[in-house]
Amino acid sequence: MFEAVQAHAARISDRRIDDLFADPDRAGDFSLSALGLLFDYSKTQLDTPIRATLLALAEQAGVAARRDAMFAGEKINATEGRAVLHTALRNLDGAPVLVDGQDVMPEVLNTLARMEALAAELRASGVTDVVNIGIGGSDLGPAMGALALAPYHDGPRCHFVSNVDGADIADTLAGLDPHKTVFIIASKTFTTIETMTNAATAKAWLAANGVSGEGRFIALSTAMDLAQEFGISADRVFGFEDWVGGRYSMWGPIGLSLMIAIGPENFRAFLRGAQAMDTHFRDAPLAQNMPVLLALVGIWHNQGLGCGTRAVLPYDNRMARFPAYLQQMEMESNGKGVAMDGSDLPYASGPVVWGEPGTNGQHAFYQLIHQGTRVVPCEFLVAAQGHEPDLAHHHQLLVANCLAQSEALMRGRSLAQARAMVGDQFTGDALEQQARHRVFPGNRPSTTLIYPKLDPETLGKIIALYEHRVFVEGVILNINSYDQWGVELGKELATALGPMVSGQAAIEGKDGSTAQLLRFVHQQG
């Protein structure tokens, strides 16, 4: 499947990326502008034949047909028998989208209008704090978005409680006024143990403070019945359908906390940005299609060069949660060991995704990126402009650092250059040894996505870009990117272990290690 790509990898194994810039057109030829974003992938080993092979791979895999099937509401999530239609949540013109012959758009737009009405009501009320209780896709999206769009935040304070660790909710509630706090229970299934446990604790906190739960809870879920059973009135329940995957859900009801924070208009701008990326993804030829090219660079690094990880490095402090958000989106989607037909995947699945914002990461793990023995393809993101006009010099330093890192990764520093650096301090063996520690191999690939400014519309474009990238990589890998069976086993075992931890059940049927750990917990009382 990837033989042709790997043959290219063998062909270029001695080549240096910086030498490719002998071609004065390289930067322009290996970058793409769309929707005001510039995606520069010229600091990689991609050349014209490699790109052609990758594009042919995308064509053979049927990316275009599968994309069209997704937008058309076909049940491409085969293992769960579901359509995949997060794109419908930002289909603001309401053009019909059919699932089982039924147009879903009237309901989507009706829910959006209800969310807007409630957000406006809450923003105008005396509510000072909104606590979103949810985990995974019911947390990461709005939490990441609320931080990313902090300059647009003019509503009540928003907090995000996700962990079943009581520390999370305890620390959050500690500073809040129960009379002025509203809880959003965000759970697609409304059964997730972490969320249900935290929701019950929130209810108990209100009661302990003499506040009725009436009107204080909002539910976001596909399980309307369970939400109402929890005691949330129907007008405060916002439903969505099973064709919205948890990790793709921040565009609909799961985004309510973000909408409350930034206001309905800004939230619409966010949706508009994503919709623009959807249109680009649908209409642009594969060779000029940003999500497709981003995916092909990913396939090249993972399947071609065998790099098992990718670092996402936003030079944008407000994008601090973006790597975590992408970890779920990418790794829950493409971290699968079987192909669509259930056969073993004969090649590596999607890569490990990780990262931290720059410049902080530079003072932590970049050492390994520059001089470690593993090659880590890096994806830089940076805004041309910041939001703080008085601090333009900060932003200039930020941009300079971002560009410096990709340049350093590519160019490196040769032994001769290192010798010259320390030649006046050392001689003989000491000079050689000192110089070798200062060598940077260089030739390390990176891409840069640069955007004008991190406003709601731009954030929408960036997230949708990555969503479609994950989709394209999944199609090429012949993976179902929309199920997540790999999270189930741990949940089942935790349910069985609960009574053993609390002492209500004897420690039985456990391996020696697990039994020993349980005994240690019991000994501590």
Which residues of this protein are in contact with ligand F6P, per CB under 6 A? 135-138, 187-189, 192, 195, 246-247, 332, 484, 487
Q: How far is the CB of 136 from ligand F6P (least distance, A)?
A: 3
Q: How far is the CB of 41 from ligand F6P (least distance, A)?
A: 30
DSSP-assigned states of every residue in 216-284? TEEEEES-HHHHHHTT--GGGEEE--TTS-GGG-TTTGGGHHHHHHH-HHHHHHHHHHHHHHHHHHHHS
What does the alpha-carbon distance between residue 452 and residue 491 come to, in Å, rounded to a whole number? 42
Let me know: does 395 contact 387? Beta carbons within 8 Å.
Answer: no
Let me know: does 15 contact 23? Beta carbons within 8 Å.
Answer: no
> Could you say which of 363, 437, 488, 508 is catalytic?
363
Let me know: does 471 contact 291? Beta carbons within 8 Å.
Answer: yes
81 vs 389 by CB, closer to ligand F6P: 81
Q: Is 75 a catalytic residue?
A: no
Structure tokens, 170: 């305890």
494 vs 505 by CB, closer to ligand F6P: 494
137 vs 264 by CB, closer to ligand F6P: 137
491 vs 522 by CB, closer to ligand F6P: 491
Helices 63-71 and 456-477 sit at what angle, rounded to 10 degrees? 130
What does the alpha-carbon distance between residue 152 and residue 458 come to, in Å, rounded to a whole number? 13
Q: Is 363 a catalytic residue?
A: yes
Residues 6+ apart with CB under 8 A from 90: 251, 271, 272, 274, 275, 278, 460, 464
Let me know: does 240 contact 111? Beta carbons within 8 Å.
Answer: yes
246 vs 350 by CB, closer to ligand F6P: 246
Structure tokens, 21: 């810039």
Q: How far is the CB of 389 from ligand F6P (least distance, A)?
A: 38
> Could you say which of 194, 241, 330, 332 is catalytic?
332
- CA distances to 27, 41, 213, 289, 450 from 33, in Å: 12, 11, 50, 10, 10
253 vs 386 by CB, closer to ligand F6P: 253
Q: How far is the CB of 461 from ligand F6P (least distance, A)?
A: 23
DSSP-assigned states of every residue in 435-448? HHHT-B-----EEE
Q: How far is the CB of 503 from ligand F6P (least distance, A)?
A: 27
53 vs 172 by CB, closer to ligand F6P: 172
For the chain, what's the residue count?
A: 525
What does the alpha-carbon distance between residue 142 and residue 254 come to, in Å, rounded to a whole number? 7
Bridge partners of 313? Answer: 380
246 vs 304 by CB, closer to ligand F6P: 246
195 vs 334 by CB, closer to ligand F6P: 195
Residue with tokens 């004065």: 24
Q: How far is the CB of 510 from ligand F6P (least distance, A)?
A: 23
Tell which residue, 479, 460, 408, 463, has the closest CA to residue 438.
408
Q: How far is the CB of 337 from ligand F6P (least distance, A)?
A: 17
Tell which residue, 183, 86, 135, 148, has the closest CA to residue 458.
148
Read off the amino acid at residue 157. Answer: R
* β 309-315/181-186 pair status: unpaired
- CA distances to 205, 231, 232, 287 from 200, in Å: 9, 11, 12, 51
Q: Is 453 a catalytic residue?
A: no
Q: What is the side-by-side order of every strand in the sheet holding 237-239?
A: 157-161, 129-133, 181-186, 217-221, 237-239
Positions annotated as catalytic residues are 332, 363, 491
